[in-house]
Structure 1
Amino acid sequence: MRIDGSVALVTGANRGIGRAITEALLKCGSTKVYAGARDPKTLEPLREHHGSRLVPVRLDVTDAVQVAEVVGQATDIDLLVNNAGAFEPTELTDQAIIEVARREMEVNYFGVLRMVRGFADTLGRRGGVIVNICSVAGLTNVPLQPTYSASKAAQNSLTQAARALLAAQAVSVYGVYPGPVDTDMTKDLPAEFEKTSPGDIAKAMLAGIEAGEEDIFPDAFSAAFGEQFHSSPKNAERQMAAIVAASA
């Protein structure tokens, strides 16, 4: 797929990786980007800068009514970027861990499922593209983020299912697996986790899509970890546990 001339929708577009992706799409020639956020007012700076090419939409991916409204509005997209995510610091012994896990799953898994289901026909008519912003934590659990990692593992599995099931409609499905990114989510991670800027993640993601890479590892940490995982999932698990132990 070529980004130049595309019409895209990005969830969670008001900050972090989502904002960087939105800006990168417009810089690379997308004719229109629907930018989704729970509060569209947070998208005003982007709209003022990019004008009519940036279309703010109210979108909470946990709200089926809002998802349906956006599906009815964004009928011209050929690129869907499922970026909206949820993370809450928690430990296995926390009393609230079940509630935390449910909230993370509602956004990171069920939210993506709603969007994929909702836009499957629209994208199928155009031979479009779905991009899920996953995480290396979905390949091997990061014990410092146990429930978040589990929700990203579910998202990774959904990505694989969508790739197989939507292929008959000529819809391409990409998974993006960043390591630690310099956002609010990672502010408490130990120094052993090297962080990458959201802008660099967005740039590498778009390059991977245009190159046809189904699984995109967009930074040095994730690229090295991806090689380790594909070589030996058990060694990757031990590597992540060792990093956590060393930082304790």
Structure 2
Amino acid sequence: METGYDIEGKTALVTGANRGIGRAIAEAFLRHGAGRVYAAVREPEAARPLVERHGDRVVPLRLDLTLPGTIAEAAESARDVQVVVNNAGVFIAATVLEDGALDALEQGIEVNVRGLVRMAQAFAPILAANGGGAFVQINSVAALKCAPGFATHSASKAAAYAITQALRDAMGRHGTAVLSVHPGLIATGMSAAAGLAGAAAPPALVGEGIVEALRRGDFHLFPDAMARRVGEAYRQFAREVVEADIEEYQPGQLRGGAPS
């Protein structure tokens, strides 16, 4: 995106807002002056602590990325939303050669990729109608670096990152900024399940990082120490390829045929 976006006074929706990174994002938005945050969770009761702390600035909504009907209902209830953060996801990791690899991959794709597409399709028209706003996708450094034991998870995150790149162009045409967030080791239930909680950074880094990245007008955010190391190495490629106009990068390529 080319211009910055300030969360102050805006109405936001955060999936998976009841815990971990999602809750940290909701808290950061409220701390920086968001007028309202829809806490989009599978069980609205799980958002009660946020409601108790912030009152009617938090509105719980039922939303499950695997149930398209709940996404449609949430979109209908949140017609005033200006910022959407698709944070909810699953960590289901398997090596390529183990028996459960295909099942693990399918589960990851269902939530992390199809769920993202469903969210974008439901909320892109609303954001456009409300003047553009912002769409934030929580991806991962696993989208860029695949550890053998996390192969299926990395594959789903890499696919989500590809979709996010496409959304940057598609939603940008209607004035919506898109931000791709790539956390590394963050202290959440997901990192604990992966056995990586020991050196993990606090989730607040992600929430605060998103607020600042939106203000700067960035497309990529690498919020923690591990992520920043990846981001530094990736920066030139991101700038010259990912964030570049592909017709400028390969003149005439799209006119003559799709890249192989």
* TM-score for both structures, normalised by structure 1: 0.89
Aligned to 2:243: none
Question: How far has the Cα of 1:207 moved from its partner?
Answer: 0.9
Q: What are the equivalent positions in structure 2 for 1:84-233 lying under 5 Å apart?
A: 84-125=88-129, 126-187=131-192, 194-230=199-235
The equivalent residue for 2:13 is 9
User: How many residues are paired up?
Assistant: 233
Q: 1:50 aligns with which of 43, 51, 54?
A: 54
Q: Where in structure 1 do 4 or more consecutive aligned residues deviate above 6 Å?
A: 190-193
The answer to whether the 8 A contact 1:132-1:159 is kept is yes
CA separation of 1:220 and 1:22: change in aligned 2, threshold 3 A: same
CA RMSD of aligned residues (A): 1.8
Unmatched 5+ residue regions in structure 2? Answer: 239-260
Matches within 5 A, 1:13-52: 13-52=17-56
Q: Distance in 2 between matches of 1:72 and 1:36?
A: 13
TM-score (norm 2): 0.85
| Equivalent-residue separation in structure 2 for 1:82 and 1:191 (angstroms) | 23
Q: Which amino acid aligns with 2:67?
A: D
Deviation of the 1:188 alpha carbon: 5.5
Aligned sequence identity (%): 39
Separation (CA, whole Å) in 2 of partners of 1:76 and 1:191 = 38
Structure-2 separation of matches of 1:123 and 1:90: 36
Give 3-state SS (helix, strand or coil) of 1:26's partner.
helix
The gaps in structure 1 that reach 5 residues or longer are 234-248
2-side partners of 1:191 and 1:69: how far apart? 36
Give, in angstroms, the shift of residue 229 of structure 1: 3.0
Question: 2:39 is paired with a residue of what secondary structure?
Answer: strand
Going from structure 1 to structure 2, the CA distance change for 1:191 and 1:163 (only over 3 Å counts) comes to closer
**Alpha-carbon distance in structure 2 between the residues aligned to 1:191 and 1:72:** 38
Instruction: Kindly provide the amino acid, as one letter, of the partner of residue 80 in structure 1.
Output: V
- Paired residue for 1:66, among 64, 70, 80? 70
